[in-house]
Amino acid sequence: MASPADRLALARHLERNVDLILLAVIIFAVAGATIFVMSVTIGDWEFWADWKDRRFWPLVPVAALLVFPAGLAAAFWSRFRLPISCTAVVLLYTLLRWVSVYLNFHLFGGYPLSFVWPSVFIPLAIIVDCTLLITRSVFLTGLIGAFLWGLLVYPANWPLLAAFHEPIMFNGEMLTTADLLGFEYIRTGLPEYVRQVERSLLRTFGDAVTPLTAVFAGFVCTLVFYVSWAVGLLLNNQAWIKKI
C-alpha cells in the first residue's frame, strides 16, 4: 500500500506527462489542420517566390492563417489563461512548411529552395499572443494584435523578399528575380497566367499598393480574429469538449 506522499508524487508525475501529451496533441492537431487547409487552399502564395506580390499575398494567406490560431487562442485563454496558442501553432506550422517545401518541392520536385521558401509568420503570432496577455481583452487584441498581424506581414517578410524584386534585364524585358525564377524553373502545370498576383488595374491608387493592402489586411484580420475567436469559444463550450 503506497503512502499518501507516494500517491501524491505519482499523481504529479502523471499530471506532468498528461500535460505534455495533451499540449503536444492539441498543438500538432491544430498546426496539422492549418497546414492542410493552407496547402489545399492558398498554398501557392505561401512559398513560390513569384507569387509573393503586393496585393494578394499580404492579404489572403495571412488572413487565412489566422483562423485556426485565433480559434485555439479562444480555448487556451478561456480555459487556461495561456497566451501561447498563436505562437505555438504558427511556429509548428512554419516548421512543417519547411519540411514540406524541402522534401516535396526541393528534394522530390527539384526546385531550388530560393524559389520555394516559406513566408515568415512567427512574429505576427507573437504580437497577437503578447497583445492578448498585455491587454487581457479580446476586443483590444482583435483591434490591435490582429490588425498588426495583417499590417506587418509585408515588412516582416521584406528582408527576405526585397532582393527578389530587384529588376533584371532578360531577353530585352525587365523582370524581377522572382519572375525569372518562375520562368526558368519549369512548372508544367503552373503557367505564368495562373498566378493570382497584382495586375495593372485602375484601383491601385498610384504607388500606394502595399500600404493600402497592409491596412486592408489588418482590417480583414481583425474581423477574422473576432469570428474565429467566437467559433473557437463556441466549440470549446460544447458538452462533449467539457467531458474531455
Using the rule CB under 8 A, which residue among 91, 143, 223, 231 binds another protein? 91
If one asks whether residue 224 binds another protein (CB under 8 A), the answer comes out as no
Relative to beta strand 173-176, strand 167-170 is: antiparallel
Q: Which letter does DSSP use for residue 175 in this model?
A: E
Q: Which is nearer to another protein, 13 or 41 (CB)?
A: 13
**173 bridge partner residues:** 170
Q: Which is nearer to another protein, 166 or 239 (CB)?
A: 166
If one asks whether residue 189 binds another protein (CB under 8 A), the answer comes out as yes
Long-range CB pairs of 119-122, under 8 A, 24+ apart, other chains included: 119/46, 119/47, 119/52, 119/57, 119/61, 119/153, 119/157, 120/94, 120/156, 120/157, 120/160, 121/62, 121/65, 121/90, 121/93, 121/94, 121/153, 121/156, 122/87, 122/90, 122/91, 122/94
Give per-residue burial for 206-218: e unless 16+ CB within 10 Å, then b.
Answer: eeebbeebbebbb
If one asks whether residue 205 binds another protein (CB under 8 A), the answer comes out as no
Q: Which residues within the stretch 155-174 sit at the binding site for another protein (CB under 8 A)?
A: 155-156, 158-174
If one asks whether residue 216 binds another protein (CB under 8 A), the answer comes out as no
Q: Which is nearer to another protein, 10 or 134 (CB)?
A: 134
If one asks whether residue 123 binds another protein (CB under 8 A), the answer comes out as yes
Q: Which is nearer to another protein, 6 or 184 (CB)?
A: 184
Q: Which residues within the stretch 11-30 sit at the binding site for another protein (CB under 8 A)?
A: 12, 15-16, 18-20, 22-23
Using the rule CB under 8 A, which residue among 82, 227, 230, 235 binds another protein? 82
**176 bridge partner residues:** 167
Q: Which is nearer to another protein, 167 or 227 (CB)?
A: 167
Stretches 28-36, 111-119, 215-223, 227-235: which one binds another protein (CB under 8 A)?
A: 111-119
If one asks whether residue 122 binds another protein (CB under 8 A), the answer comes out as yes
